Amino acid sequence: MGLHGMLVRISLIGLIISPVLVIAASLAKPADGCPNKCGDVEIPYPFGLSKDCSLNEDFLITCDKKEAKTGNLIIKKISIEAHDLRVLQFVARDCYNQNGDSVKVNKARLNAAMTTISNAKNKFIVVGCDTYASLNGVQNGEQYSMGCMSICKSLRNVVNGSCSGVGCCEVAIPDGLKDMSMEVHSFHNHTDVSNFNPCGYAFVVEQGQFNFSSRYLRNLKNEKLPLVLKWAIGNETCGEAARKNKKIVCKGNSKCSNLIHSKLGYRCKCNSGYRGNPYLPHGCQDINECKDPTLNNCTKAGHCVNTQGNYTCRCPKWQRGDGRKDGEGCVADPFLELKIAIVAGISLIAIVVVCSWLYFVIQKRRLVKLKEKYFRRNGGLILQQQLSSEEGSSETFKIFTAKELKKATSYYDESKIIGKGGYGTVYKGFLPNNRIVAIKKPKTVDENQIEQFINEVVVLSQINHRNVVKLLGCCLETRVPLLVYEYVSNGALFNHIHKESIASTILLSWKTRLSIAVEIADALSYLHSAASIPIIHRDVKSTNILLDDDFIAKVSDFGTSRLVPQDQKQLVTIVQGTLGYLDPEYMQTNQLTEKSDVYSFGVVLVELLTGQKALSFARPEEQRSLAMYFLFSLKENQLFEILENGMVEQSNMEQVKEFAKLAAKCLEVKGDERPTMKEVAIELDGLRKMEKHPWDNVESNSE
């Protein structure tokens, strides 16, 4: 046909695409009785011959006539340690007859979703005397193109075993290729060289598996050549997967390892001193370095002592040293020096032991007496009596020892601090049963109110509400009593509203904010009316509302709370709370009622709407108090001007308006004009249901 530069394109679809999708959390190991061989090829996990036997569908291997395949690739070997997949691929041919007509063209397609091409173990090779080819694709998000050209007029200058460009050329493959394709061209349709070179060839082949010979110019018989692919888990690095709380599939005695030059997934590797399959439970087994002299450097084989993941070298009796060939080895101790050392050592040890024992006994007695003193002074005996009289309290509430909480917080290490303020410090603790707790260490306690403190601890320990932080126990052996609460992992609502931490940069959706408001209201309503003794929180604010991983709200910090006797509806107390949240009526009269919590909750609702702080001296004077600024804006029909950007949409505009009206009711100056928390909770729950069933709302409005 005489068509100059006829193109042969080999689409390598899927070869350099993203690696394996992250494994579903429910898959932890292959099912029992899975076959692990296809013909002569071992099929180790995470690969498998069925869905139950493989990590996921991307690692599913088919066994066709004793040939292991993934997609259209024939697998020859799978390596767990090197994370390699050795496969066979077709050779692309561009052949012409003496008339210059194309007589044979092969196209190769490579599909393997979990893999990328190993740039360290493969080469791109072009064979021919009238041939040039290009390798095109995407690297690091940008298009790339590179080529290789092979030209020769005869076989005279062709050198066997050399791919320098005469008859054969080769190019190294960059790392991190995606969407790769090859194009093979000829200058003169092989008309001039068709006698000894009727075809041009292009292929990617494993290094060392192709040795060029001049006879290949006449006919390269190989239809398939080996290729090494890299495989990995997921499409994220170890750190990215961990931050998103995705399950890392690496098992015991192994570690997660990122790919060196790309972020296309991660790999699992056995720790140093272990060998095996890190994707299987107990797959990484300890290597006994003492059985193989090449694995240890002890001076004598009998002096090697194997340990988990390592080994040590010992010296014979009466010798000293590290016992290693690359160290000081073992040297004999002079007998006289040994005797002197023994006598002096025994004498010194005896003195140290006796003195240490005496000091320890004295200090221990002092410590025991001091703990007993604190325990009695902090009302420990009263608490024990009340817990024994309260049915079920002893099972859910625990009196911790000072030693237990020291151990849980690594002796109150600063790295364990998760909160600090005027009230004291909160530490993150780990109990022996692996339960994570928050340990509150107040700065001071009023000794004249110990009995009241104990009564409140007993009542709070009986609160069992999903939106109230659970009080798990206390410690009375210290100068100031310590309180142990359940640990809430996602921090304070304040941080998420005002973006006070790196973990809180995501904007809370309106749906989430509405759910948080419903949950806080439900908790406060429970404290006011459903608890065995009504409780006024007295310090409701966004920093005392904690969020768990699912953004479920939990009311915390009852340090300033007060129990309301059954025959009283209000208490006379010293004004306590946080500026910006304090009930103005309470500030004037010192009369503490449930409506004081309603006012503070109203400020939290305004925070959720506006994303602004309750009190800020950085704002103009008339806007410093968020509650006053909000009420003024609402009165002037400027509500939507002060809401946080992105809060209002066409679908939730009515909800936001009703939400704002409810907040305004809670912020009434007179407590009698405010709704109860129960009424607030019911109205908020109605707003949430209006979102779930907007058609019901339309009908009710029309009525």
More confident position, 222 or 697: 222
- 472-483 pLDDT, tens digit per residue, is 989 988 888 888
For residue 369, the Cα-to-chain-centroid distance in whole angstroms is 46
Name the token pair of 205.
């082949």
For residue 393, name the pLDDT band (cuts at 50, 70, 90).
low
Dihedral sign (CA 463, 467, 473, 477)? negative
Dihedral sign (CA 627, 633, 637, 639)? negative
What pLDDT, on a 0 to 100 scale, did the predictor assign at position 404?
A: 93
Contact at 8 Å (CB) between 465 and 556? no
Q: What is the mean pLDDT of residues 356-360?
A: 91
Dihedral sign (CA 269, 273, 277, 280)? negative
- 521-545 pLDDT, tens digit per residue, is 999 999 998 777 788 888 899 999 9
Contact at 8 Å (CB) between 213 and 221? no
Q: d(Cα 238, Cα 258) in Å, to the nearest integer? A: 6
pLDDT of 310 over the 80 cut: yes
What pLDDT, on a 0 to 100 scale, did the predictor assign at position 342?
A: 84
Q: How far is CA 45 from CA 20, 65, 284, in A?
A: 14, 21, 13
What pLDDT, on a 0 to 100 scale, did the predictor assign at position 18?
A: 33
- 482-518 pLDDT, tens digit per residue, is 889 999 988 899 999 987 665 555 778 899 999 999 9
Radius of gyration for the chain, computed over Cα atoms and rounded to the nearest angstrom: 38
Long-range CB contact pairs, 154-158, < 8 A, 24+: 154/196, 155/196, 155/214, 155/217, 158/129, 158/214, 158/217
Q: How far is CA 651 from CA 88, 215, 647, 657, in A?
A: 57, 74, 11, 12
Indicate the range of 107-116, 163-172, 433-442 predicted with least confidence: 107-116
Q: Which of 513, 430, 690, 691 is nearest to 700 (CA)?
A: 690
- Which H or E run includes 278? none
Domains in the chain (CATH in brackets) are 8-15+89-227 (no CATH), 235-285 (no CATH), 287-333 (2.10.25), 380-486 (3.30.200.20), 493-700 (1.10.510.10)
Angle between the N-to-C axes of helices 510-525 and 653-666, in degrees from 0 to 180, rounded to the nearest 10: 30
pLDDT of 656 over the 80 cut: yes
Q: Which of 506, 454, 493 is nearest to 614 (CA)?
A: 493
- 7-65 pLDDT, tens digit per residue, is 344 344 334 333 333 333 334 467 778 898 999 999 999 999 998 899 888 899 999 88
Dihedral sign (CA 631, 633, 635, 640)? negative
What pLDDT, on a 0 to 100 scale, did the predictor assign at position 564?
A: 60
- Which H or E run includes 339? helix 335-377
- 179-216 pLDDT, tens digit per residue, is 677 788 888 776 766 678 888 899 999 999 999 999 99
Q: d(Cα 114, Cα 110) in Å, to the nearest integer? A: 12
Dihedral sign (CA 580, 583, 586, 588)? positive
Q: Chain-wide mean pLDDT for the chain?
A: 83
Contact at 8 Å (CB) between 603 and 581? yes
Q: Which of 368, 393, 532 is nearest to 474 (CA)?
A: 393
Three-state SS for 4? coil
What pLDDT, on a 0 to 100 scale, did the predictor assign at position 21?
A: 31
DSSP 198-213: -EEEEEEEETTS----
Q: d(Cα 263, Cα 234) in Å, to the nearest integer? A: 10
Strand stretches in 371-416, DSSP E: 398-399
Q: d(Cα 87, Cα 78) in Å, to the nearest integer? A: 9
Three-state SS for 291? coil
Q: Active-site positions?
A: 539
* CA angle centred on 191, ends 187 and 195, rounded to 5°: 125
Q: Which residue type is seen at 690?
A: M
Q: d(Cα 649, Cα 317) in Å, to the nearest integer? A: 82
Could you give phi then psi for residue 249, rounded to 5 degrees? Answer: -85, 0
pLDDT of 168 over the 90 cut: yes
Q: d(Cα 531, Cα 316) in Å, to the nearest integer? A: 72
Query: If you ran DSSP here, which 8-state letter would residue 428 be given?
Result: E
Q: d(Cα 11, Cα 500) in Å, to the nearest integer? A: 50
Indicate the range of 162-166, 548-552, 694-698 predicted with least confidence: 694-698
Q: Which of 138, 96, 104 is nearest to 12 (CA)?
A: 138
Q: Which of 406, 546, 540 is nearest to 467 (CA)?
A: 546
What pLDDT, on a 0 to 100 scale, did the predictor assign at position 125?
A: 93
- 249-292 pLDDT, tens digit per residue, is 999 999 999 887 666 789 999 999 999 999 999 999 999 999 98
What pLDDT, on a 0 to 100 scale, did the predictor assign at position 175?
A: 82
- Which H or E run includes 337? helix 335-377
Label residues 618-627 b or e (16+ Cβ within 10 Å = b).
eeeeebbbbb
* CA angle centred on 115, ends 111 and 119, rounded to 5°: 110
Contact at 8 Å (CB) between 498 and 613? yes
β-pair partners for 229: 85, 117
DSSP 645-669: TT---TTTHHHHHHHHHHHHHHT-S
Q: Is 441 annotated as a binding residue?
A: yes
Could you give phi then psi for residue 368, rounded to 5 degrees? Answer: -65, -45
Contact at 8 Å (CB) between 197 and 129? yes
- 402-437 pLDDT, tens digit per residue, is 999 999 999 999 999 988 876 778 999 999 988 999
More confident position, 15 or 233: 233
Could you give phi then psi for residue 513, rounded to 5 degrees? Answer: -65, -40
What pLDDT, on a 0 to 100 scale, did the predictor assign at position 26?
A: 36
More confident position, 641 or 695: 641
Instruction: Work out the number of other CB atoms within 10 angstroms of the CB of residue 145.
Output: 10
What pLDDT, on a 0 to 100 scale, did the predictor assign at position 236?
A: 85
* Share above pLDDT 70 across residues of the chain, in percent, rounded to a whole number: 85
- 76-117 pLDDT, tens digit per residue, is 999 999 999 999 988 888 888 777 777 766 555 565 667 888
What pLDDT, on a 0 to 100 scale, did the predictor assign at position 24?
A: 34
Instruction: Work out the number of other CB atoms within 10 angstroms of the CB of residue 259.
Output: 18
Strand duo 471-475 + 398-399: pairing: parallel
Q: How far is CA 310 from CA 253, 275, 290, 300, 306, in A?
A: 12, 12, 10, 17, 6
- 626-642 pLDDT, tens digit per residue, is 999 999 999 999 998 89
